[in-house]
Structure 1
């Protein structure tokens, strides 16, 4: 398992993984922008991109992981945890945030396992499924 910054030549494979997960490539420009700004991490497993993470620092000047995607063939193997651990070590700010839908039990467990604490919620993003905000100190 290897984690590294995504490069331009990884773009199409990352977009393909994202499309595989959500059925659309509407985030391709967001992914491209994150790669150009070195805010996209990829996790290689057996010479393929098994997972990726995108973050930014526009959340009240704190680091916010906006997207974590793990290929279904690699889920439940610690890939999301590996990305979170790595991000905790390299976070450009002492405070690290992320979020998931209240209905996403597996991701909620991943956050708890990785010592993130619930830090509130946002209603009205997905009807009837609040977004739970998670927080971790990285100092």
Structure 2
């Protein structure tokens, strides 16, 4: 189920039971924001969370949804305060890019959030717009991921997808979601997060 496993840092899909551990490393939740706590639980239950962890436990998480004009959108990227400046955020961003199933991937951050802006700029993401009115005096800056960092997402349900581990048609997926090999060797399989009933759960992240 690993998306990446380098230098002891593992990124994989969070299970519904992981929400409490993620809430403990979320600085907003720990500051008393119950809405964020509820959101983490909901995101984990929906299967849209990628979690970074090492032998010590969770270090951060990202949330990938498809509610922004039916395109991929990184709703949240959070790194535990004790794990920042260690490349966890960059690893999570790369993992999101590798599993996104649409041709475009967006995210946004406050103008005041300089660390997030620096992370996105280092990864080559481009600023594409500014939205006023969400947070008073702190506009929201939107970014677009370069298409070269996204895997091909042009297939449709019913096409054949090959993998070293199994041969199956995407029509076998209950939601007719697109299955793809994560890399050329077919080491990992990814699936549309809308699919809640996976015929090959051991292979899908």
Same-fold call, TM > 0.5? yes
**CA distance in structure 2 between the partners assigned to 1:132 and 1:57 by the alignment:** 18
Match 2:83 to one of 74, 83, 86: 74
Say whether the 8 Å CA contact 1:63–1:92 is kept in structure 2. Answer: yes
Q: How does 1:103-122 map to 2 (within 5 A)?
A: 103-122=112-131
Q: Does 1:23 align with 2:67?
A: no
Q: Residue 29 of structure 1: CA displacement?
A: 2.8
Which segments of 5 or more consecutive residues in structure 2 lack a partner in the other structure?
1-8, 153-205
Q: Does 1:6 align with 2:17?
A: no
Which segments of 5 or more consecutive residues in structure 1 lack a partner in the other structure?
none
Say whether the 8 Å CA contact 2:107–2:143 is kept in structure 1. Answer: yes
Q: Residue 119 of structure 1: CA displacement?
A: 0.8
User: Normalized per residue, which structure has more strand?
Assistant: 1
**CA distance in structure 2 between the partners assigned to 1:49 and 1:110 by the alignment:** 20
Q: Residue 128 of structure 1: CA displacement?
A: 1.0
Q: Over alpha carbons, which structure has the higher Rg?
A: 2
SS of the equivalent of 1:27 reads helix
Aligned residues: 138
Write out per-residue CA displacement over residues 77-108 of structure 1, whole angstroms, 9 at most, x where no aligned residue. 11111001111111021211111111111110
Say whether the 8 Å CA contact 2:25–2:81 is kept in structure 1. Answer: no
**CA distance in structure 1 between the partners assigned to 2:56 and 2:18 by the alignment:** 12
Say whether the 8 Å CA contact 1:50–1:74 is kept in structure 2. Answer: yes
SS of the equivalent of 2:93 reads helix
Q: How does 1:1-139 map to 2 (within 5 A)?
A: 1-18=9-26, 19-20=29-30, 22-136=31-145, 137=147, 138=150, 139=152
Say whether the 8 Å CA contact 1:95–1:135 is kept in structure 2. Answer: yes
Which structure exhibits the higher relative contact order, with contacts defined as CA atoms closer than 8 Å and separated by 6 or more residues?
1
TM-score, normalised with respect to structure 1: 0.93
Q: Residue 35 of structure 1: CA displacement?
A: 1.4
